[in-house]
Amino acid sequence: MDVQELHQMSLESIKKADSFEKNEEFKKSIHKYLEAMQHLIEIQELNETYFREHKIYENLKKATQRVESLIFHLEKEDAKEILDNKNFDEIIEFLNKEIEMHRKLNPLWLEIAKILKEYDRIEEAFENLKKASGQGDDIFEIYKKMGILYISEEKYEKALHYIQKAINIKPEHVGIIEILAQIYVKLGKLDYAIENYLKILELKPRKVEVWKKLSELYRQQGNVEKAIKALTRLTELEPSNFEAWKKLGKVLLEESNIESAIKAFEKALELNADYFEGWKELGKAYKEQKKYDSAIKSFENAIKLDDKSYEVWSELAAIYRLQSNYPEAIDAYHKVIKLKDDVFDAWCYLAFAYLKTEKYEEAIEKSKKAIEINNENAKPWVFLGASYLELEKLERSKELLKKAINIDPNYHYAWFYLASLFMQQNRINNALDICNRALELKPQFQEAIKLKKEIENLL
């Protein structure tokens, strides 16, 4: 068969390949392109002059590029079938020879490398990129591609080597500096990563993604002050960035910067009123400031979004208790227990609320349940002892209150109820001493101040 016939056959194969491609019959199209490439290679082997004079290289390049593009449309198994085909290997071998002889084919090394890498022939892909890197045609891009290829293989030290070579060529190229920073993060070298992100900001101070990355890295390092500055800058650049306001609020709350945290959460909630965590955290912040009405509204908004959060009900119950709104506290603590029946604080403070509403049997029952969960906390022992005191079971009460003091001698309520007990027993001097002990622990303890006056009136 002469070269003209082969040439004609290759053109027909390319025409059919184009037709198959238009009909999205990609596997058939690739086979036809490969067939055309085989014919074109035969022409070169038979008649080098004809190959050069008729610009057959251009058809060969087109076929190569189409194979590269179309192969990514195939299912994995179909692609592997083509790549494992002997003809495909022969074509790659031919192209490599062409590259070595005629440097103008250099871009094909990159195309071959891309195909090989995608289908797990990694070492061959590396070899092709290395060959391309020796030619000097856009060496920066070659080093960059090598680095990215090694990153995809999680070979970060090797990736670092090539990306640093690229940096040496273009030290102010933002994209390559960012890749370098990402590699340092993967290697756990956060100081170096931060250093490179800061370089980017010198070049592009308003690059939002970099401020975001910096805030995360500073938090990982425990440098909260710088994390807050980065997040604050991010909110200045993008005032409608919900995620930035959310993260800023959380960091500020962790640092007990309550006023600023409230502002951040309020802004986040302006942007997204369905932000459950925001309402919860805002409620906690208001609670910390003793702005209980605002805290209640925040927790109620959270409950509208998710009424199955025992944590929110627990926070709400705690505020009602702090406000001495014991009926509401009781209802809320029951909600907590219904959702999660092993929450110690719910049982413990439910006992306290029943004690304060003079429902002593209920208080005893809830105290015992709290003790079952944790018998090393003094509070339920105190509430149990106080309930027996109100029921005038004084010896049992004394036994329980002393047990509570042994567990935690610094819990003021234990001394308060013990002072009340001694007063009932008409042991006035003992009662006064014990009451003073409660006030030493909590000088503004109003119930103890009132009790002390009552005791002193009996002297």
User: Would you list the domain boundaries of the chain?
Assistant: 1-137, 409-459
* Most confident residue range from 54-58, 86-90, 193-197: 193-197
Average pLDDT, the chain: 87
pLDDT of residue 92: 63
pLDDT over 90, % of the chain = 63
Q: Kindly report, residue by residue over 71-114, the tens digit of the pLDDT.
A: 667 666 676 676 666 666 666 666 656 555 544 444 444 455 55
C-alpha 439/C-alpha 445 separation (Å) is: 6
Of 38, 56, 148, nearest in space to 102 by CA: 56
Q: Kindly report, residue by residue over 9-38, the tens digit of the pLDDT.
A: 988 998 998 898 888 888 888 888 888 888
Whole-number Cα distances in Å, 293 to 160, 284, 315 = 56, 12, 13
- Mean pLDDT lowest among 64-73, 203-212, 249-258, 309-318: 64-73
pTM above 0.75, yes or no: no
Helix/strand/coil (H, E, C) string of the chain? CCHHHHHHHHHHHHHHHHHHHHCCCHHHHHHHHHHHHHHHHHHHHHCHHHHHHCCHHHHHHHHHHHHHHHHHHCCHHHHHHHHCCHHHHHHHHHHHHHHHHCHHHCHHHHHHHHHHHHCCCHHHHHHHHHHHHCCCCCHHHHHHHHHHHHHHCCCHHHHHHHHHHHHHHCCCCHHHHHHHHHHHHHCCCHHHHHHHHHHHHHHCCCCHHHHHHHHHHHHHHCCHHHHHHHHHHHHHHCCCCHHHHHHHHHHHHHCCCHHHHHHHHHHHHHHCCCCHHHHHHHHHHHHHCCCHHHHHHHHHHHHHHCCCCHHHHHHHHHHHHHCCCHHHHHHHHHHHHHHCCCCHHHHHHHHHHHHHCCCHHHHHHHHHHHHHHCCCCHHHHHHHHHHHHHCCCHHHHHHHHHHHHHHCCCCHHHHHHHHHHHHHCCCHHHHHHHHHHHHHHCCCCHHHHHHHHHHHHHC
pLDDT of residue 33: 83
Higher model confidence: residue 36 or residue 419?
A: 419
Residue 10 neighbours by CB under 8 Å, 6+ apart: 36, 37, 39, 40, 43, 56, 59
Q: Which residue do the tokens 């959702």 mark?
A: 339
Q: Which residue do the tokens 């080597």 mark?
A: 161
CB 444 within 8 A of CB 411: no
pLDDT of residue 141: 76
Higher model confidence: residue 21 or residue 51?
A: 21
Q: How many residues does the structure list for the chain?
A: 459
- Mean pLDDT lowest among 80-84, 332-336, 381-385: 80-84
pLDDT of residue 105: 40
Residue 51 pLDDT level (bands cut at 50, 70, 90): confident
Q: Kindly report, residue by residue over 242-296, the tens digit of the pLDDT.
A: 999 999 999 998 888 999 999 999 999 999 999 999 999 999 999 999 999 999 9
State the CATH architecture for 1-137: Alpha Horseshoe (1.25)
Checking if the pLDDT of 383 tops 90, the result is yes
When pLDDT is averaged across residues 313-329 and rounded to a whole number, the result is 97
When pLDDT is averaged across residues 395-408 and rounded to a whole number, the result is 97
When pLDDT is averaged across residues 210-224 and rounded to a whole number, the result is 92
CB 174 within 8 A of CB 200: yes
pLDDT of residue 61: 75
pLDDT of residue 136: 44
C-alpha 102/C-alpha 207 separation (Å) is: 43
Residue 128 pLDDT level (bands cut at 50, 70, 90): low
CB 150 within 8 A of CB 186: no
Checking if the pLDDT of 160 tops 70, the result is yes
